[in-house]
A = this chain, B = another copy of it.
Amino acid sequence: MPLTMFDLCAADADVRFSPYCWRIKMALAHKSLPCEFIPWHFTEKGVIAVSGQGAVPVLVDGETTLSDSWVIAQYLETHYPASSLFGGDAGMQATLTLKHWMESQVMPSLFSILILDIYDALDEQDKRYFRESREARLGMTLEAFCQSSPEHIQRFQKQLHPARLTLRQQPFLGGQQPMFSDYLLFSLFMWARSISATSLLVVDDPIYAWRERMLDLYDGLARKSPQCEAARGSVRS
C-alpha cells in the first residue's frame, strides 16, 4: 500500500507551499517511496484529527499515522533505511541543530518577508483563519509584521551565510549528494517559490546555484511544482 501525505494547499489546490511538507516530499523522493499527496486546507482540521493535532504534514503508512516533519523523517529513515537521509545517528544529531538553526533564525525572517504573499494565496476561509491565528500569535496585523524591503531581504541573505560557506566548497550541504539538511533549507525556498514573486538570492550566490541543483533533483520534482499566478509573474532570482 503506498504512503499517503496530507499536504497544505493554496486556493489553487495544485499549489503546495508548506516548507514542513516540502521537507518530507523531498525525503520521500530521496528514498524513491511512492506517495499519494492529498491537498489540505488550513481549516480542514477534522480531516487530520486522527493525528491528534492540527498541522501538516501528516503521513499515513498503513495503520500508522504520524505528524511533525522531524518525527516523520526519522520514521522514514528507520522503516525505509535504503538511501539514508542522515547517514547514521551522528549525522541525524548534527542535522537536528541545523534544523533548529533554520527554524529559529532563518525561517522567521523569511516568514516576515512572505507573510502577505501567503495570505494572498489562500482561499477565503483559510484567509480568515490565517489572519486570526497569526495576528493573535504575532500580536500585530499581518501588514504590520510584513518586512519585505531590500534591507530585509539582505538580512535574510546574511542569515544564510553558514550554508553559503559550505556551498562554496561542495555541491550540497550533505557533501557530494543531497541529504536531509539540504531538504530542510530547500523547503524554505519552495515556500517562497510557490506563492511569492520576491527575489531572494542574487545570481552569483553559491546558494543560488545550489537551489538550481535542488530544483533539478528527481526529474525536476520541485521545478515542476505549480506556482500561484502571483509567483509566476516575474523572472525569479
Q: Which of A93, A94, A166 has the most CB of B within 10 A?
A: A94
Distance of A162 from chain B, by nearest CB (Å): 4
Distance of A161 from chain B, by nearest CB (Å): 5
Q: 8 Å CB contacts to B: which residues of A169-195? A: 169-170, 173-175, 179, 181
The interface residues of chain B lying within 8 Å CB-to-CB of A232 are none
Q: 8 Å CB contacts to B: which residues of A82-105? A: 84, 86-91, 93-98, 100-101, 104-105
A165 to B162, CA, bound (A): 18
The answer to whether the Cβ of A60 comes within 8 Å of any Cβ in the partner chain is no
A165 to B107, CA, bound (A): 15
The interface residues of chain B lying within 8 Å CB-to-CB of A90 are 84, 86-88, 90-91, 174-175, 179
Give the residue name and chain of the B residue nearest to A179 (CB): B90
Interchain CB contact (< 8 A) of A162 among B104, B161, B169, B170: B104
Interchain CB contact (< 8 A) of A91 among B94, B166, B169, B173: B94
Distance of A230 from chain B, by nearest CB (Å): 32
The answer to whether the Cβ of A163 comes within 8 Å of any Cβ in the partner chain is yes
Task: Report yes or no: A166 in contact with B87, Cβ–Cβ below 8 A.
Answer: no
Counting from the closest, the 8 A-B pairs by CB-CB distance are A87-B90, A90-B91, A94-B94, A100-B162, A101-B162, A100-B165, A91-B91, A93-B175
**Apart from the given pairs A90-B175, A104-B162, 11 other A-B contacts in the complex at a CB distance below 8 Å:** A87-B88, A88-B90, A90-B90, A91-B94, A93-B179, A94-B179, A97-B162, A97-B166, A98-B98, A100-B165, A105-B159
Residues of A at the B interface (CB closer than 8 Å) are 84, 86-91, 93-98, 100-101, 104-105, 159, 161-163, 165-166, 169-170, 173-175, 179, 181
